[in-house]
Structure 1
Amino acid sequence: MDEIAAGLAKAVELILALDPVVVEITARSLAIAITSTAIAAAIAVPIGGLIHFHNFFGKRAVINLIQTLYSLPTVTVGLVVFLLLSRSGPFGSLGLLFTPAGMVVGQTVLITPIMIGLTIAALSGVGPAVRDTALSLGASRYQAILTIMGEAKAAMMAAVLLGFGRALSEVGVAMMIGGNIRGHTRVLTTAIALETSRGEIELSMALGIILVSISLLVNLLVNRAQGNWWA
């Protein structure tokens, strides 16, 4: 117990002192996760809207497939993206393997199905009365769709948040695509795994505290935004 307390105290000291290694890894993790989330949102929200607002043969099967991909193991995604980006793969000439850009690609592939499915769920949660009311007031079909999306904005923000959390906390894609290269592709999750295996418990705990703190901060900011800006 004393060792844990000592490690925790040292971890807090590293954070407060803005240890260069801690700052570098944290900044890289945030940059990759934010970029991945932004790209995934730009893909997922339109696709989720198209699926929800259009009826077509096999729609239920498509939604079931998307929901199945929620639990897709990160190492499986990492393997697929690794094969695509490797030198012998179709995109090997881009030189993205073992780079932050490659990690962004992998994390985007990982979280996009989650965000598509949650976007569909968010839009489905808006009652038909909203659409009917908008149309009865003279709104066009496009305006009615915007009205429904406006009603679902809080749930859609939650979908983006969940995608960000998944991107920030995953380790399989980051390890397989990034390679955990010091000063280049090392992020919070891969650094925690490495430093723990090396016995650097204080640094691991510091990075773990930062990881949890970021997740908590994002949740608090989104909840505050939903309460104040969208009231």
Structure 2
Amino acid sequence: MTIGAAVHDAFGLLFAGDGTLWQIIWVSLKTSLIGLGLASAPAVVLGYLIASQSFRGRRLVIWLVQAALSLPTVLIGLLLYLLLSRQGALGSWHWLFSQSGIILGQAIIALPVLIAFTLSAVQAVDPRLAETAFTLGANRWRIMLTVLHEVRFGVFAALINGFGRVLSEVGCAMMVGGNIAGETRTITTAIALETSKGEFAQGIALGVVLISLALLMNAVLLLLQGDTHNAGRLR
């Protein structure tokens, strides 16, 4: 099959509403969004606390968070495989080769991305913001919300990058999910499988979906930032 024919067939699959193709897309979106949702709140709070609090070992913690950003997802998949296997510490959960296992992996993968972006955004805030809020009688919870509101676009960027990271990873999903058709086959594992079989149409179609989602997410962030900047000029 020529590249032109494969591209033609790929768009045919997308516009024809191919059930197998959209099932794969649904599994990817479901596991990625749930995994990101589970990691978001604790990661944002941890990022804020690491950035705003002084404690022994803080620089070591920051170094570990930043190092975790480059941790291969296949290694995370291997560690989870060992934990979730029948002889593993979490084997009684029966999450290996299931969507629950993939969701756990996605949450772990998203965690350092969300922490690092939030940490960086909070560190860039003028410290007088928190000091002013404290002077006005705000408690610690209110101070945190005030600072996070100030850096909301940094948090949005964290969420978008975290979603992109978990949606596009293949190593962990392959090892923990097992690439089971209709159950744990995600966009990236399907692309790897179809390409290895020499069937490029479905792989190209799924690649188009990934690119479209990436463009859409970043367009939303740019629009939000643009609206805020324009409102600021009007004031």
- When normalised by structure 1's length, the TM-score is 0.93
Matched, 1:128 2:161: no
2:36 match = 37
Distance in 2, matches of 1:200 and 1:188, equals 14
1:26 match = 25
Cα-to-partner distance string for 1:47-75 (whole Å, 9 max, x where unaligned): 11222222110101111111001000111
| Alpha-carbon distance, 1:208 to partner | 0.8
1:147-158 alignment runs, 5 A limit:
147-158=146-157
1:76-225 alignment runs, 5 A limit:
76-225=75-224
Matched, 1:69 2:72: no
What is the percent sequence identity of the aligned residues? Answer: 44
One-letter identity of the residue aligned with 1:65: L
2:59 match = 60
2:11 match = 12
One-letter identity of the residue aligned with 2:87: S
One-letter identity of the residue aligned with 1:156: V
Which deviates more, 133-142 or 197-206?
A: 133-142
| Unmatched runs of 5 consecutive residues or more in structure 1 | none
Distance in 2, matches of 1:100 and 1:229, equals 38
Which deviates more, 173-182 or 38-47?
A: 38-47
Cα-to-partner distance string for 1:153-199 (whole Å, 9 max, x where unaligned): 10011011111000000000000000001111001000000001111
| Alpha-carbon distance, 1:141 to partner | 4.4
| Alpha-carbon distance, 1:222 to partner | 2.8
What is the root-mean-square deviation in Å for CA atoms of aligned residues?
1.8
SS in structure 2 at match of 1:71: coil
SS in structure 2 at match of 1:30: helix
Distance in 2, matches of 1:106 and 1:145, equals 28
Distance in 2, matches of 1:23 and 1:225, equals 29
| Alpha-carbon distance, 1:128 to partner | 1.7
One-letter identity of the residue aligned with 1:222: L
Distance in 2, matches of 1:141 and 1:201, equals 54
Distance in 2, matches of 1:181 and 1:142, equals 44
SS in structure 1 at match of 2:211: helix
| Alpha-carbon distance, 1:203 to partner | 1.1
| Alpha-carbon distance, 1:132 to partner | 3.4
| Alpha-carbon distance, 1:139 to partner | 3.8
One-letter identity of the residue aligned with 1:58: G
SS in structure 2 at match of 1:39: helix
Q: How many residues align?
A: 230
Distance in 1, matches of 2:26 and 2:129, equals 42
SS in structure 2 at match of 1:26: helix
One-letter identity of the residue aligned with 1:21: T
One-letter identity of the residue aligned with 2:4: A
Cα-to-partner distance string for 1:119-172 (whole Å, 9 max, x where unaligned): 111111111232233344454444333221111010011011111000000000
